[in-house]
């Protein structure tokens, strides 16, 4: 595994407008995400929804609070995602499945842990 692959970028969503080169997006099992997190040298979070942050941290058992409020992922000259000055070749998305179909919390609304039925894990990989 090279150094680019041994860092994890993780968030609750990813802006599709920032995909400017070929990617593969794959649903993955929870275990695969946990294994990658355990093996990573560094985990960089850009978690943007504070209402789901405590539940996501409890689910994964690691802190996901970003280093600053509302960090924005950008692209480097080769169109790879960059955050905190680091380039990533993959990004993991963890999003909640709510008990109520079609539910979207209001901005700033706290979501009770019992309103989350489970989690969807996606892996976005940028082709080298």
For 68-125, the pLDDT digits (tens) are 988 999 999 999 999 999 999 999 999 999 999 989 888 777 788 889 999 999 999 9
Q: Tell me: the pLDDT tens digits for 24-53?
A: 999 999 999 999 999 999 999 999 888 889
Residue 26 backbone phi and psi in degrees, to 5? -130, 125
35 is in which domain, residue-wise? 3-126
Helices (H), the chain: 30-39, 53-60
Q: Residues 45, 39: contact at Cβ < 8 Å?
A: no
What are the CA-CA distances from residue 18 to residues 5, 45, 90, 123, 126 (Å)?
A: 19, 17, 13, 15, 11
Number of folded domains that form the chain: 1
CATH code for the domain of 27:
3.40.50.11170
pTM for the full predicted model: 0.89
Nearest to 12 by CA among 55, 42, 41: 55
């Amino acid at each position: 595994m090279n150094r680019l692959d041994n860092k994890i970028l993780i968030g609750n969503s990813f802006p599709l407008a920032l995909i400017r080169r070929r990617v593969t997006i794959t649903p993955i099992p929870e275990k695969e995400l946990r294994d990658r997190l355990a093996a990573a040298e560094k985990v960089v979070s850009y978690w943007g929804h504070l209402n789901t942050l405590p539940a996501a941290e409890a689910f994964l058992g690691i802190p996901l609070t970003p280093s600053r409020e509302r960090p924005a992922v950008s692209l480097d000259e080769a169109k790879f995602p960059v955050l905190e000055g680091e380039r990533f070749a993959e990004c993991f998305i963890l999003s909640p499945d709510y008990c109520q179909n079609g539910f979207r919390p209001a901005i700033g609304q706290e979501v009770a842990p019992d309103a989350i039925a489970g989690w969807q894990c996606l892996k976005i990989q940028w082709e080298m």
